[in-house]
Structure 1
Amino acid sequence: MASNTTVTSDFELVKQLQKWSKDNMRQETLFCTIDVADLYTMVPQTEGVLALKKMLDHLKLKQVGDLKIETIIRLSRFVMQNNYFSYNGQYYHQIRGGAMGSPLTLTVANCYMFFYEQQIIKQINNSGELYFT
């Protein structure tokens, strides 16, 4: 799904850059990288679950295994909004993001970033610029 904007190796990146630079490299060309600090703990919970729902809709899935999409979203919302942890003997309720190391948090963050990147890609596509994740 994101194969047009994803490179899987250094070699592939260099190959794509060489191909692109033949017609597009200019003296004023800028290269930049983006890193989302603490992504898993910074994705807004509601928007993250909405991105998961949007991804499942985008994939035209009615259910995954025996679970209907509606059930997956309800369970995801419950897990994201009911994460508690202990630190220095105190218990805390996590109100933003999800638990580090949780497969659900990884999935929600990936969906959230996929749709965030789609907005960037729309702007870049008609400008002759190149975008990779």
Structure 2
Amino acid sequence: PPYILSQYIPSIPIDETLGYLKELLIENGIDDVKNLEFLELTKRCMKQNYFQFNNQFYEQIDGTAIGNYLSPLLANLFMSKFEENLKETLEYFPRVWIRYVDDIFVVFNTKEIAWRNFIRI
């Protein structure tokens, strides 16, 4: 049966993903001042999200906002780290793994127990 991570993506942990972004900036030689400025701007863009529903304003306090231009970038970064962690922890990695942003197509070539272990992660 298909397992869809789309319901997980709006719940991407922003602070954890910003940590991954910081690692990426350091790996690419971005100096500390630019790194901190970029991270602070990104954090503000991701944490100050408001929307209106039934004439009432709300603040989104968790996850990535739909329509925020940074959401796909951070979703990709988070999913990349998610994949890396899976490769390190799973006994059997899926035979086929195709991802487009937050959509994943997975084919296992093992017993159902490997599948059950995978979806628990």
Query: How many corresponding residue pairs?
Result: 97
The alpha carbon displacement at 1:115 in A equals 0.6
Partner AA of 2:7 in structure 1: D
Q: Relative contact order, CA 8 A, sep 6+: which one is greater?
A: 1
Q: Which runs of 4+ in 1 moved over 6 A?
A: none
The alpha carbon displacement at 1:123 in A equals 3.6
Q: How does 1:1-133 map to 2 (within 5 A)?
A: 34-58=3-27, 60-62=28-30, 68-124=34-90, 130-133=95-98
Q: Given the two structures, how large is their TM-score scaled by the length of structure 1?
A: 0.60
The alpha carbon displacement at 1:106 in A equals 1.0
Larger radius of gyration: 1
Q: Given the two structures, how large is their TM-score scaled by the length of structure 2?
A: 0.65
Percent identity among equivalent residues?
25
Secondary structure of 1:35's match? coil
Distance across 2 between alignment mates of 1:108 and 1:76:
10
Structure with the higher strand share, 1 or 2: 2
State the partner residue of 2:115: none
Task: Tell me if the contact between 1:51 and 1:108 (Cα under 8 Å) persists in the aligned partners.
Answer: no
Task: Tell me if the contact between 1:121 and 1:131 (Cα under 8 Å) persists in the aligned partners.
Answer: no
Distance across 2 between alignment mates of 1:80 and 1:113:
17
